[in-house]
Amino acid sequence: MLLCEFALIGQSNGIRVAGLSVDTKQIIDDPFKPLHAGALLLLTILVLAVLGVTGGLQPWVTPDTEGYLAHQAWPAMLAVERPPFYRWLNALLTFGGALPGLLAVAQIGLYLCASAWLLYCLSKLGMPGRALLAVGISLVLANALFLMGNWVHPEFPAIACALCALGATLRVMQGRRLVWGLLAFAVFAGGAAYLLRPSFLPLIVALPALGLFWRLASWQPPKIGRALLVALLMALPFLTVSSMRLAVVRDFNVVSFGGFQMSGLAALALAPEVLPRLPPAALPLAEQVLAARSAAEAEGRLIGVPSNSSGNRSFMSAALGYFDVLARTHDDVLYGIMLTHRQPGEDWVAFNARLQGWSVQVILASPERYAAWVFGASTRLAGRMLITNLPLALGLIAFTLVVPVLWLRWLRLTPRQPVPGTPDPAAALCLLAMGWLAATGPLIVLTTFPATRYIDTAALLLAAPVWFLVLERIALLRAHPGSSDSR
């Protein structure tokens, strides 16, 4: 009801009622009004109240929390499996650990500030009020806020940092002149996002690319040179930290974890027919892993690859059609089998590098299985983003309810008049959702399986275009509440 009342204050964006045209000036005159902001604030308060009642404002310790908060002195902090950056942020948000119970509230406050910043940036780019409201609804009702806001874990703060980088990058790319302060903020926020969660690394390319597509959708010439500059500067935190780690621990990355993470995928792709294709150096570990996996499946400790319609156990069939089986097995294989192959005296950096090399060799020996994994992981990501996305589900329900009412009242939207220098709002919101997905999704299907937290992160802005369509049509009903004329 609150969402409907908020939408009713909007203006019609050009309509026809009983064959009569309405002033198309309303197409352009759709600012984000104080009442819009007030309604969004009330929705936020409602969500915070729900979180308070359900314990969402109390910190929740995840299985990974200890690794992220473990104290390591220099230079040992560069050689462990978790980077130190979340520990530093945690200390900042809890006043040096003096108020640990404040963490969830602080992280959610950071996220809401980042959301407000993104809305402000979009308003400066000429987005109409209903488009801003659609983005606001998607962010306030996001699964990530309900499920991860109180985690003692870097995923949620990384989302907040990435939202800040998204808004700042779009403004940098759309401005007539380069604003160095905005660019510095975009680089800082983007770097913070992927240093907290390396799965955000694709934003180095995805955000400048989104800026280019935004300009094209606005019928403006692309600024390729500026996009390259943004991407280069966005990569500076990665290059700085990785170079430091290369000099100290001989590993060029923000953290030594990707090789170990990828080994779960490789272990599940192994099969007796793959072994002959492996180079001799990779064969001993492959044989040990395959034997351990087979034994665990026989004992019921792991879910085995199911049989296909022909009665044969097929990894390809499972990856393409039953990927959830592999997803449920992945972490058991990773921590129950692969972790046990760390040799005595082998430091984590060397172990991670060894598993990375081995995983690449397995993938090269069975590229068809890797392709099936990527396809299956992508379908899991896409399916779960659509099916388990709360704001998207509510938006689709609202759209289903509103459209028949418009038909009954003979109301319809006329084609939107282009606003100079800005893209069509619906197209802009689709670009925003796809740009965010490109910044958060690729690494989770290429190197591991899409866990729920990754899916909710990638789906953050997916509902915005749907809510915009809903709000446009509700505003049309508001403009003509009693119209029932027939043609």
- Written as one string, the DSSP assignment of 222-273 is --HHHHHHHHHHHTHHHHHHHHHHHHHHS--SSSTTHHHHHHHHHHHH--TT
Q: How many helices (H) and strands (E) does the chain have?
A: 24, 3
Q: Are residues 50 and 186 in the same domain?
A: yes
Q: Are residues 393 and 328 in the same domain?
A: no
CB within 8 A of 54, min separation 6: which ones? none
Give domain status of residue 18, yes or no: no
Give domain status of residue 29, yes or no: no
CA dihedral 121, 127, 130, 132 (to 10 degrees): -10
Q: Are residues 138 and 243 in the same domain?
A: yes
Place of tokens 């275009």: 465
pLDDT at 9: 31
Give the DSSP letter string of 28-56.
Answer: H-----HHHHHHHHHHHHHHHHHHHHHTT
Q: Are residues 82 and 211 in the same domain?
A: yes
Helices (H), 366-463: 367-387, 390-408, 425-440, 442-446, 452-458
Give domain status of residue 126, yes or no: yes
- Decide which of 367, 397, 432 is a domain's last residue: 367
- Decide which of 328, 344, 367 is a domain's last residue: 367
**Which two three-digit tokens encode residue 188?**
């800082």
Q: Are residues 238 and 299 in the same domain?
A: no
Q: Are residues 68 and 187 in the same domain?
A: yes
Q: Are residues 139 and 208 in the same domain?
A: yes
CA distances from 273 to 276, 376, 452 (A): 7, 21, 32
CA 80 from chain center: how many Å? 25
Give domain status of residue 156, yes or no: yes
Q: Are residues 198 and 337 in the same domain?
A: no
pLDDT at 23: 34
Angle, in degrees to the nearest 10, between helices 464-479 and 390-408:
30
Please give the residue range of the domain that contains residue 107: 34-247+378-470
- Decide which of 367, 401, 434 is a domain's last residue: 367
Number of domains in the chain: 2
Angle, in degrees to the nearest 10, between helices 323-336 and 283-298:
110
Q: Are residues 383 and 352 in the same domain?
A: no
pLDDT at 39: 82
Give domain status of residue 286, yes or no: yes
Q: Are residues 274 and 385 in the same domain?
A: no
Q: Are residues 192 and 56 in the same domain?
A: yes
Instruction: Report mean pLDDT in 10-residue bins for the chain, 487 residues.
Output: 32 32 39 77 96 96 93 90 94 93 97 97 93 96 97 98 98 94 98 97 98 93 95 98 96 94 95 94 96 91 77 84 91 95 94 97 96 96 95 94 75 64 91 98 95 96 95 76 47
Give domain status of residue 484, yes or no: no
Q: Are residues 264 and 315 in the same domain?
A: yes
Place of tokens 């449920």: 328
Give domain status of residue 24, yes or no: no
